Amino acid sequence: MEAVIATGGKQYRVSPGQVISVERLPAVPKGKTVEFTAVLLVSKDGKLTAAPADLRGAKVSAEVLGERKGRKVAVVKFKRRKNYRRFRGHRQVATTVRITKIEV
């Protein structure tokens, strides 16, 4: 069984047992269960379900494994011949989750 969920402005194709990294989930401690209710598509035994009416009660459960920072993104401003240089870095925080159950 597979599903497509939406969280943090992105879409993820998930299946039970899979470990994914999503945008930071605020106020969810390590070891707790989180539910994703924005399910866009479910594939069960090769049969696709994508109608919003059929997916109204669908949810994907996941266990929170922890948080970590992603790779550094360099933000550079530069103007030639003006001695103007600005460098700034940013590291986005992500939450790692393990998909436990898909319910339709």
pLDDT of residue 93: 95
pTM of the full predicted structure? 0.82
Q: How many CB atoms lie within 10 A of CB 47?
A: 7
pLDDT of residue 59: 94
CA–CA distance, 8 with 88 (Å, rounded to integer): 24
| Residue linked to tokens 């866009």 | 40
SS (H, E, C) 16-46: CCCEEEEECCCCCCCCCEEEECCEEEEEECC
pLDDT at 102 over 90: yes
Model confidence pLDDT, tens digit, residues 27-85: 889 999 999 999 999 999 989 989 988 899 999 999 999 999 999 999 999 999 999 99
Label residue 104 by pLDDT band (50, 70, 90): confident
Sign of the dihedral defined by the CA atoms of residues 14, 6, 12, 99, in that order = negative
